[in-house]
Chain A
Amino acid sequence: MATEQMDGGRALIRALEAEGVDVMFGLPGGAILPVYDPIIDSSIRHVLVRHEQGAGHMAEGYAHATGRPGVAMVTSGPAATNIVTPLCDAYLDSVPMVVVTGQVPYAAIGTDAFQECDTTGITQSITKHNFLVTEAQDIPRIIKEAFYIATTGRPGPVLVDIPKDIVDPTNPRSAMTWTDDVEMDLPGYHPQTEVDVDLIAAAADLIRTAERPVLYVGGGILKARAADALRALAELTGIGVVTTLMARGAFPDSHELCLGMPGMHGNYTAVTAMQESDLLVALGARFDDRVTGKLDGFAPEAKIIHVDIDPAELGKVRRPDVAIQGDVRLAIEALYAELSGNGIGDTDRSAWRSRISGWQERYPLAYEPWVPGEALKPQYVIERLRDATPDDTIVTSGVGQHQMWASQYWTFDHPYTWINSGGLGTMGFSIPAAIGAKVAFPERSVWAIDGDGCFQMTAQELVTATVENVPIKVALLNNSYLGMVRQWQEMFYDERYSEVFLSPDVPDYKMWAESMGCVGMRVDDPDEVDVAIAKANEIDDRPVVIDFRVAAAEKVYPMVPSGASNSELVVPGFQEGQPR
């Protein structure tokens, strides 16, 4: 067994290399300074961000796109608090991520030292786990444990807080002995992936006899790399699939069994099929309030099969009839084996299928067509972008109206092509997430679909994109409003608009983009849309920002008003009055 004397800082970088880390996103500062020296000699690429929040979201974007844990490294105090938002974002969306933060020297902890904050205390409830390392010798073991915890079971963010003295080679406390075969010590962590075969049989029985079944698919499918297994199950049983906001792309939108996205801004068919269903097969989904609407009115006649890796999700919101704890891919494969081996049953679902196709026919996703003199339709921009980009384009988004339109009007036919902030709803997510995805897949087309409110929160990371040669593209749907808030004020606050108007021209987005080294364009009319997109697609040596000036009054439909049951879905005016 090879052993080597070294300091904690070198050991930290070596431990990251041993985990297969090829890139990390970060920004140095006082307490983490000693760890930045060995980075110079490391094989790991370091992307220098302009704000620590960017580092966290980039790590998330990388993780979403690749399935491998994203890594961010920042210093203590304000840097640690700046990365709190991405940690919480990753926690709510189950994104595997390891964040290393610097900390003041161990002896100074608790003295209110310069740039000291209680990082592990602050992040306790928004990480899957966190560590305060007290001895240099523990660094390799804790890094190994951090990656193991972040990537197994239900994935999530893990934070490792490292006091300066144990990584500073001039401090005797940093001396340690590196060994290659460090063992983890996690007596309380045993994620269970195997599924109970009896429960699989019980689930299969419910599926065989259900007259109105729906496969309700959540982000867990993507985390479990289960898209192929899901497709096989759907095709074997002929059961329609809804993909939640976190699962867009887990089942091809162009597939005849795809019913679309459920939830507050889901399409009519997906929402209504769930609502009228007699069996919901929830696969890696968590009955989020944005999906269920008013809980006691949600899918009132449906029995529930709930599969989740996290036992605490089973029964947290809706009591399942069959609860299956385990890896959702293993569960789907077991269900497939059971149903293909012992038959899918002979329940007649022709009436259900014809109701579904009736909804699809009467209530497609649609918006009022543009008329000359009006501002550009944001949905049209997304449709044109969708049609002009390669199939495997990765789309990221911020949070708000543009996010919902992107999730509705894009066609996601491949897993891991849609990256957004679902649970936390973090404005400003799209640009850094796009950078993370593009760093992972430099050869792929990566578009951030953003809003003007979101853009102003993290746009400075376009400097990072330019300087680090990460040529992402940004479609800015600029309606000069905090659009989703404006929509709520219009619909639920008697059109009393309070603090939602931004400004169409301040900042000048084209100039701002150019000042950050990007190509900047501005589009006002529909006939300029295709030209601008084509031009953007040809540019691959720098980021591109297109400022699309879109209609401020455009609203996201359908919509389940907050607190209402999903049966009270509001459709756009021109679809009203049709049989439901």
Chain B
Amino acid sequence: MNVHEPEHRYHTLVVTVENKSGVLARVASLFARRAFNIESLAVAPTDDENLSRITVVVDLDSAPLDQIVKQLDKLVNVVEIRELAPGHAVERELMLVTVTAEPDRRDEIVEHLDRAGGKVLSLGTDRMMLSLVGPPRRIDEFEDLLRPYGIIEIQRTGRVALASLDDALD
């Protein structure tokens, strides 16, 4: 598999870092300093309280993957980097969205939502708040679908990822 093919422009890195103050800033500052582009970034603690996990989607148009990984690895607080190549990772993202929904259009929106596997979180007189968890591309598609109704507010988490199981058994 060639990661440089256009459809593989975005590549997910799972970076395990020491859970210390300022570490996220070091990672962000490295990306800025080396002119590497970040497509999305999510940070959370792990089951080990000394470690955090940063899931970062990098844009390989801005720099070769090899350089990004090696420069990241030079950060003293970076403990491990796993590359999750597209197609070899289970990726999920959460979207919360408030959309304009006059009573006569609600059924239509809910139909889209059911098909995508999302949930209605809250209902207002002229709006609905929805949530959807899914692979980033499905979230993109659903966002496009909602746009004509009028998106009032939207928040996406950025993706998190784990290696797919058949890969992990390699």
Contact = CB atoms under 8 A, between A and B. Distances in A.
Interface of A: 120-121, 124-125, 128-129, 132, 149, 186-189, 310-312, 314-316
B70 interface: yes
A188 B70 contact: no
B115 interface: no
Interface string B2-22: 000000000000000110011
Given A187-B18, A188-B77, A121 B70 contact: no
B102 to A, nearest CB: 47
Nearest to A120: B22
A572 to B, nearest CB: 38
A129 B64 CA distance: 24
B71 interface: yes
Going nearest first, the 10 A-B pairs with the smallest beta carbon separation are: A312-B70, A188-B79, A129-B76, A125-B33, A189-B76, A188-B78, A311-B70, A187-B79, A124-B29, A312-B71
A311 B68 CA distance: 11
Given A132-B22, A312-B73, A315-B64, 13 more contacts: A120-B22, A124-B26, A125-B29, A125-B30, A129-B76, A149-B76, A187-B50, A187-B79, A188-B17, A188-B77, A188-B79, A310-B74, A312-B70
Contacts of B30: 125
Which label, helix, strand, loop or mixed, suits the secondary structure of the B interface? mixed
B164 interface: no
Contacts of B18: 187-188
A121 B30 CA distance: 12
B101 to A, nearest CB: 43
A121 B76 contact: no
Interface in B6-56: 17-18, 21-22, 25-26, 29-30, 33, 50
A121 B24 CA distance: 12
Count chain B CB atoms within 10 A of each CB in A120, A125, A188 and give the residue with the most.
A188
20 contacts: A124-B26, A124-B29, A125-B29, A125-B33, A132-B21, A187-B18, A187-B50, A187-B79, A188-B77, A188-B80, A189-B76, A311-B70, A312-B67, A312-B70, A312-B71, A312-B74, A314-B70, A315-B64, A315-B67, A316-B67
B75 interface: yes
Contacts of B74: 310, 312
Contacts of B79: 187-188
A124 B25 contact: yes
Nearest to A125: B33
Contacts of B166: none
Interface of B: 17-18, 21-22, 25-26, 29-30, 33, 50, 64, 66-67, 70-71, 73-80
B22 A188 contact: no
Contacts of A188: 17-18, 75-80
Count chain A CB atoms within 10 A of each CB in B17, B74, B78 and give the residue with the most.
B74
Contacts of B73: 311-312
A149 B76 CA distance: 9
Contacts of B17: 188
A225 B161 CA distance: 44
Contacts of A186: 76
A483 B77 CA distance: 43
Contacts, number: 41
Nearest to A314: B70
Contacts of A125: 29-30, 33
B77 A121 contact: no
A310 B71 CA distance: 9
A310 B73 CA distance: 10
Count chain B CB atoms within 10 A of each CB in A311, A312, A316 and give the residue with the most.
A312
A312 B70 CA distance: 5
Contacts of B25: 121, 124
A121 B64 CA distance: 27
Contacts of B29: 124-125
Nearest to B70: A312
A149 B29 CA distance: 20
A45 B94 CA distance: 59
Contacts of A310: 74
Count chain A CB atoms within 10 A of each CB in B30, B33, B66 and give the residue with the most.
B66
A436 to B, nearest CB: 26
B14 to A, nearest CB: 14
B36 to A, nearest CB: 12
Nearest to B75: A188
Contacts of A120: 22
A125 B25 CA distance: 10
A135 B25 CA distance: 21
A129 B79 CA distance: 14
B157 to A, nearest CB: 26
A124 B34 CA distance: 13
A121 B21 CA distance: 12
B34 to A, nearest CB: 9
A316 B36 CA distance: 13
Contacts of A312: 67, 70-71, 73-74
Nearest to B26: A124
A438 B25 CA distance: 39
Nearest to A154: B74
A128 B30 CA distance: 12
Nearest to B50: A187
A187 B66 CA distance: 22
Contacts of B80: 188
A556 B71 CA distance: 36
Nearest to B78: A188
Nearest to B80: A188
Nearest to B74: A312
Contacts of B22: 120-121, 132
Contacts of B71: 312
A290 to B, nearest CB: 20
Contacts of A314: 70
Contacts of A315: 64, 66-67
Contacts of A316: 67
A117 B98 CA distance: 41
Contacts of A189: 76
